[in-house]
Structure formats: C-alpha cells, structure tokens
Amino acid sequence: MRIYMLVLTIIVVFSASEVFGMGKSDGSKEEVKSSVSEPAPAAAPKPAPIATPKAAPVRTPRAARVAPPKAVGVASPAPKTVLVTVNGIVIRQSDVNKEVAPQKSRMAAGGRPIPDSMVKQMEQRVVQMLVEKQIIKDKVASEGVVITDAQIQTEAEAIAKKRGMSVEEFEKTLLERGGISKADFHEQMRLGLGFEVLMKKAMRAEGGAVTEADAKAYYDSNIQKYTHEAQAKASHILVKGGTDEASKAVAKAEADKLLKLVKDGGDFAELAKAHSSCPSSAEGGDLGYFEKGRMVPEFSEAAFSMKVGEVSDLVETQFGYHIIKLTDMKAAGTSTFEEEKENIVKMLESGKEREFAQKYIAEVKSKAKIKWTAGFEPMPATPPMR
C-alpha cells in the first residue's frame, strides 16, 4: 500500500475511508470479482463480495406498523466554540460539525437512530483527525515540500481506476456519498502526498528494508496459505442482462457482436475496457487466479473446461452474458517461494509502512504545540483486551 494512502486512511480521509474503504490493500482482486463470484456461506473465512438476492419482504399488518426511530439529538457546543489550538491554529466546533454532518445525514436518511454515544464518538474521532491533519500540514509546510497539481491528478486517476471509475465519477460519488468536495479531496491528496515524501525520507534514514530472508521466513511459517486447489486465471467481458425477455434479447445481441469481434482477432483487453460492465474492465477484464468454487457455477464450469488461450462462446449467468478467455491454469498443490516472493515482500513492506506511519505521526505529534480548551480534553484510550 502506498504510504500516502496510509496517511489518508489513518489521519485525513475520515469520510472517504468509510465511503470507499480506502484502507483496503491496493491491487486486491476482490472488488472486480463481484460480477462473477459465487456467494459464500456465512461461516466461510472469505465471504464473496456480492450480496445474495434479497428475499421478498414480509408484509406487516397495517395496524402493527411502526415508524422508524428518529435520530437522537445531541446538544453540541456552539459552532464558534474553540475546542483545541494546534500550533496556533484554532479548531472550532463548526469544523467538527462540517465533517460529521454528512454521516449523520446518511444515517438519518436510512431510518437508523443515532444514539448520543455514537455522535459523541464520531465527534471525538473528528477532533483527533483535525488535530493530526493540522500537525501534518504544518510539518509538510515547514519542510518545504511542494506537490504539483499534475501529481494530484495522476494519483486521483490511479485511485479512481482501481474502483472502475473515471476521476469525475469518483469525485462525484465522494461528494454524494461522503460530502467531500473536489477541492477537499485534492487538499487531502496534496497533504497525503506531501507527507509521503517526508515519510520515505525518514524510512530510508532508519533502514530496515524487507529482505528476501524475511520473505522466506514468512513463507516457511505460513506454508498452509500457499497450498491451493486447481486454479484458473481468466479475463472476461460482461454484458449485463435484463430482468425481462426483451432486455435480455438486447443484451445478448450486444454480447454476440462483441464475441464476433473477439473471434475475428479483436484485442480482448481493449474490448473489455471499452464494453465490459464488470469493474474488472479497468484491468482489461483480468480476474486473476480463482478456484472453482469461487465463481458462480456456469462461469466456473466454462472456465475450467477450456484450454489456455481459448475464448468461450457466450456464457449466461445471473449477471448477464460473459465472454471468457482462459489465460492460465495452476494444478492443485503448493506454490513455490519464488512464485510467491514478490507478493510476500509487498505484504511485509505494507505492514512495515503502516507501523512506521503510526510511529512517525506520533513522533511529529509529540513535538507539536497542542492546547486543549478546558472541558474538551480527549478521553484516554481504552486499553486493548488481552
């Protein structure tokens, strides 16, 4: 995971991290498999990322219906109240209200009650986030780090692409679901990227890079993780089907045209990027490796019956019409260290970066001038359960 994403997740992006789960490891295939995955049993360790079809709602007798509980109001301090001063910059209740309001609105709109304790927790989290955000901002400025608009645009495009969106679509969704404007998002990106520069410099000075020996030790201690059933690697183009025969016919006709283009030598990845309805389109339809039970039955049966390099005819599933290209197969067995080394190194590096980020932020925070207004001091952290 990129260090700046760690900073955004840990400190800056309070709303966006809840909207999009920005703390997830970059490069995960779980999101893009949602249009082909077989829903897993509730007790499975890795539940499928797609929801099973909902059962028809049970009709409640009219007289027994009860209106959803209303949100519980909480008396917060007046907006102009100064909660804390950080390096001479004041943080007021109005700053907290701005961050909390979108979340409260979403919960209220969904008919969920908002208990006093939850509002208090939200506000406390936001105050801490604003304190640490200001500390990071001051640190970046004091070190003279400059992040250009071009750098921000490049990183915004990368984030949006991983979610199968354009930058415009991603920023629109941030605003609609998280209350985060384009200007706020770019400010957070600028701050996170700036702090990444400082973090990398500090990490290089401290040393401790992940070595091949570290990766081998992890592999040997976790060999069971690398034992697997037969796996297929495939790409696909999905044309979503409709709920009635007419719309299904339209979808099938479109899928037939795409299949002909593929069979006539068209570039599969480019056609997937341009026409597939699955988030995997951003990666040319690539779904990575998967075991047979991971996908819906029709998709699995087709993929595991093909030869490497072969393209299927149309495969219909509950999601629509698929054109599948099998790109590799792995027999059941245990992956070698050489096959897994790159992924293990990245994973261990991500863990070290996360640990270093938290330590470095704490160090910078310890040197900042923080003055809490009486009555608004942060509550002491709860000791972890043993």
DSSP of 153-185: HHHHHHHHHHTT--HHHHHHHHHHHH---HHHH
Q: Sign of the C-alpha dihedral, residues 358, 363, 369, 372?
A: positive
- Give 192 or 64, the one with higher predicted confidence: 192
Long-range pairs for 342-351: beta carbons < 8 A, 24 or more residues apart: 344/215, 344/218, 344/219, 345/210, 345/212, 345/214, 345/215, 348/210, 348/214, 348/215, 348/218, 349/209, 349/210, 350/1, 350/25
> 338 lies in a domain?
no
Question: How many folded domains does the chain comprise?
Answer: 2
How confident is residue 32, by pLDDT bands cut at 50, 70 and 90? very low
Which pLDDT score, from 0 to 100, does residue 385 have? 42
- 10 Å CB burial of residue 70 (0-12, 13-18, 19+) is exposed
CA distance to 73, 83, 95, per residue, from 78 (Å): 14, 10, 11
Rounded-to-integer distance, Cα 173 and Cα 292, Å: 34
End-to-end CA distance of the chain: 29
Rounded-to-integer distance, Cα 369 and Cα 21, Å: 32
Looking at the fold, whether 187 and 238 belong to one and the same domain comes out as no
Rounded-to-integer distance, Cα 147 and Cα 210, Å: 28
DSSP of 282-316: GGTTEEEEEEGGGB-HHHHHHHHTSPTT-B---EE
Q: Domain span at residue 324?
A: 230-331
Contact 35, 238 (CB under 8 A): yes
Rounded-to-integer distance, Cα 212 and Cα 218, Å: 10
Residues in the chain: 386
Rounded-to-integer distance, Cα 209 and Cα 203, Å: 9
Average pLDDT of span 270-297: 93
4's enclosing H/E stretch is helix 3-7
Looking at the fold, whether 269 and 313 belong to one and the same domain comes out as yes
Looking at the fold, whether 153 and 17 belong to one and the same domain comes out as yes
Read off the pLDDT of residues 158-192 as tens digits, 9 standing for 90 and up: 888 887 788 898 888 888 777 788 998 898 899 98
CATH for 98 = 1.10.4030.10
Average pLDDT of span 48-73: 37
How confident is residue 75, by pLDDT bands cut at 50, 70 and 90? low
Q: Is 85 helix (H, G, I), strand (E, B) or coil?
A: strand
> 47 lies in a domain?
no
CATH for 266 = 3.10.50.40
Looking at the fold, whether 240 and 290 belong to one and the same domain comes out as yes
Looking at the fold, whether 16 and 157 belong to one and the same domain comes out as yes
> 65 lies in a domain?
no
Claim: this prediction has a pTM higher than 0.75: no
How confident is residue 201, by pLDDT bands cut at 50, 70 and 90? confident
Looking at the fold, whether 116 and 21 belong to one and the same domain comes out as yes
Q: Which residues contact 384 (CB under 8 A, 6 or more apart)?
A: none
